[in-house]
Amino acid sequence: MWVPFAMRKVLVSLFAILAGTSVAMADDAGCAAFKWPVTREEALFAAAPAAQPGADLSVGEAADVALAPVDTISFTVPPERAPAAGTFGATASVAVPPEGELQISLSDEAWIDVVQDGKAVKLAAFSGMKTCPGIRKSVRFKLAAGPATIQLSGAKKETLKIAVLAPE
């Protein structure tokens, strides 16, 4: 009688260990499943300073942006995806470098539009994962060198970490 009980105990313990290992591996695979590495964002988000809506963002840095209700924001152009009522957003300025490419990554779910010369710019590439803790999406835009406006909308939380990087 003791052998089957002991065997059951061993099997339950092994199952618990394997289940825990699988969850840990799934979390690691979540971030590794992006189309491009997001390790820079992970490091930047850990120390992202607070920023207000309308902030000037710098390429190579991240910020923890305070958002406002979307119905109080004057977007340069209407967001491509209409934000749901009760969601949050913000705008921010960025100087696009001569290379003209930006990679914008967010910590949570939100819509990203980039506006340059009064027009929304179509994104060049998208990657998103719901299984990566702390990073939800990363998008790339091909732009002209000079000023641009980043529009965030449809966020469900009142703050959002954003990293603006040159693609690797």
Domain boundaries, the chain: 50-165
Specify the CATH architecture of the domain 50-165.
Answer: Sandwich (2.60)
DSSP-based three-state secondary structure for 54: coil
Radius of gyration for the chain, computed over Cα atoms and rounded to the nearest angstrom: 20
Q: How many CB atoms lie within 10 A of CB 33?
A: 14
Q: Is this prediction's pTM over 0.75?
A: yes
**pLDDT tens per residue across span 30-51:** 899 999 999 999 999 999 999 9
**Which residues have C-beta within 8 Å of that of residue 16, sequence separation ≥ 6?**
none
Tell me the pLDDT tens digit for each residue of 76-96.
Answer: 999 999 999 999 999 999 999
